[in-house]
A and B are shown apart, each in its own frame.
Chain A
Amino acid sequence: MFGSPPLRHQIVLLVLVAIGFALPPFVPEYYLFLLNSLMVWAALALGLDLLMGWSGQFAFAHMAFFGVGCYGTVILTKQLDLPFLLAMPGGALIAAVVGFLVAIPSTRLRSIYLALATFAFAEGARFVFNSWTGLTGGPDGLRIPTMTIAGWKMTSDRQVFPVLAIILAMLLFATQQIVRSRFGREMSAVRDSEHVAMASGIDVRRVKVLAFTVSALYSGIAGGMYALINSFINAQQFGMDGAVLALSMVVVGGMGSIPGVLIGVVLIGLLPVVLQTKLRSMQLWQELIYGVMLTLSVTFMPRGIWGAVTGALRGRR
């Protein structure tokens, strides 16, 4: 897992960018919208997996950081009139800083305190989104102005599609490199055994704080991407359901592997769309469906679909 990633992994990224430019003219707008949202989820899930699958920590606040990134991007665009390419990194950076501040006290004593603090943070952040009316529009929400990238106005999913493809390709590249870096090795060591990590001179707490911060940065970037495909945001969009959805993607697809996470994003991301056509009371059933999927896959398929598939292939050889 160390050294440089195989060439084919990087070719996949180029293919993704190429598709980003080639596909839009030939595909109906609705499908592009679906693909766009899947790319946003992918960014969020990749960040969650860095924390969960690679450093073995658990946190709940990714929807909140997603929200911080999204509000940040929109507010920077609106108030300071920044172009998207400045506003989005700005929003993501705010998310990362908030993540850093939450992580520092939460990683001091027990491993599990990070999960508990972020669980509470998710609720607290929604309160702030809902009540800081001057900035977020409060319960009425915020209309997202048209974003401009290099002078181009982003008015349709068709135009946004290549932009998101490039951002996602960059995030995938970054993820491939991070898991192969010194820091990646530190994360894996902490995940497998904190004692070995400490006894090997790794500052375990620093690794946890850093992993959480990077993870929050990913969520913030995903939030910025979300601002591109929506025209309106309010606090309701950043609740616990989204967090559980992202969690399901990572767990069902396969923790600690990039292809696994991407498979999870596609399957879980499309599930509501498919179910809606079959099941009219989707609203009623979705919690039960996600709960059962999450529980069963973590119990009987610990490495997710990807792990099960690669395991079966290896077994046959």
Chain B
Amino acid sequence: MSVSVLFRIEDLLVQFGGLRAIDAFSMEVEQGSIHALIGPNGAGKSTVLNCVSRFVTPRSGRMVFDGRDLLAARPHVVTRMGIARTFQNIELCREMSVLENVLVGAMSQTPRYLPFLPGFARGRIERDAVMQAEALLERTGLLPFRDAKAADLDFGRQKLLDLTRALAAKPRMLFLDEPAAGLRNAEITALDALLVDLVRGGGLTIVLVEHVMQLVMSVADHITVLNFGRRIADGGPAEIRRNPDVIEAYLGTDAHAAG
């Protein structure tokens, strides 16, 4: 099995006021892997992700996706390049239906010419988009709620919709920002299975930003640990579990939550 690096961060520095939120941070994500980015609360995990989405502009450093410089791209271009993400504090189009949310997610996949062309005139394009969205909803188990308003779903299903929306962009790399936070155990197990299936079956690369250890240890191929904006460890799950720095900085203080 040949291994290639799909995404690389080099020497990232993010500064908010006088505070160095991210300092000299580097990581490499291999094609077709599940890579976990973990760390205690406030370690800077979400900030890294927000740099990748281009919501935050780093002071210095490089981010390269498939040979292309991410820093040169605006946020919407990042998605068009094949990087999708979910949000920690569920972001949805709350006034829209479940199906419409997924259709929004698929917008980078549908032709962009003639923005004013109404739905009926787009004919096949629109029908295809709806069919694909429904197939995706079927896969994540949300199809029964197709026409419900996104705001009316329960918490677990809102998170699932967030994920479905991200998948609709047909990404090559998917960033998940704490997908398990607030989910029940059964839901986490189902999420586990879905993620593994997406990577093994669909060729997707996943970066999991997480601090629920149960999920990370069982699915991750590779783990990068972040604390106070710096990388303190990097390696396979077994290696990380034994790493004294990680145990002290992370597992030691958070052993119960780590389960």
Contacts and interface: CB of A to CB of B under 8 A. Distances in A.
**Are A and B direct contacts in the complex by CB distance below 8 Å?**
yes
A185 interface: yes
Which of B104, B110, B166 has the most chain A CB within a 10 Å cutoff?
A: B104
B84 A181 contact: no
Nearest to B175: A199
Contacts of B118: 4, 176-178, 180-181
B75 interface: yes
B74 to A, nearest CB: 7
Residue among A192, A197, A202 with the most chain B CB within 10 A?
A192
A193 interface: yes
A196 B92 contact: yes
Nearest to A196: B91
B16 interface: no
B122 A192 contact: no
A195 B117 CA distance: 25
Given A198-B75, A200-B104, A203-B74, A189 B115 contact: no
B88 to A, nearest CB: 11
Interface residues of B, number: 40
Interface string A280-297: 000000000000000000
A211 B85 CA distance: 26
Contacts of A193: 91-94
A203 B93 contact: no
Interface in A162-195: 176-178, 180-183, 185-186, 188-189, 191-193, 195
Contact of A185 (B95, B107, B114, B120): B107
A204 B91 contact: no
A191 B100 contact: no
A202 B76 CA distance: 5
Which DSSP category, helix, strand, loop or mixed, fits chain A's interface? helix
A134 interface: no
Interface string A242-258: 00000000000000100
B83 to A, nearest CB: 9
Contacts, number: 114
A3 interface: yes
B95 A192 contact: yes
Most buried by B among A4, A199, A256: A199
Contacts of B106: 200
Given A192-B94, A193-B93, A186 B115 contact: yes
Nearest to B97: A1
A199 B53 contact: yes
A1 B166 CA distance: 21
A315 interface: no
A87 B258 CA distance: 71
Contact of A181 (B76, B77, B116): B116
Nearest to A192: B93
Contacts of B169: 199-201
B92 A192 contact: yes
B200 to A, nearest CB: 25
A182 B165 contact: no
B126 interface: yes
B76 to A, nearest CB: 5
A2 interface: yes
Contacts of A185: 100, 103-104, 107
Contact of B116 (A177, A203, A256): A177
A200 B105 contact: yes
Nearest to B117: A181
B196 interface: no
A181 B115 contact: yes
Interface string A138-180: 0000000000000000000000000000000000000011101
9 contacts: A1-B96, A177-B118, A182-B107, A185-B103, A188-B95, A192-B92, A195-B91, A199-B87, A201-B107
Q: Which 8 A-B pairs have the closest CB atoms?
A: A201-B108, A4-B120, A192-B93, A201-B79, A177-B118, A198-B75, A183-B115, A3-B119
Given A183-B115, A198-B75, 10 more contacts: A3-B119, A3-B126, A178-B118, A189-B93, A193-B93, A199-B79, A199-B91, A200-B168, A202-B108, A204-B75
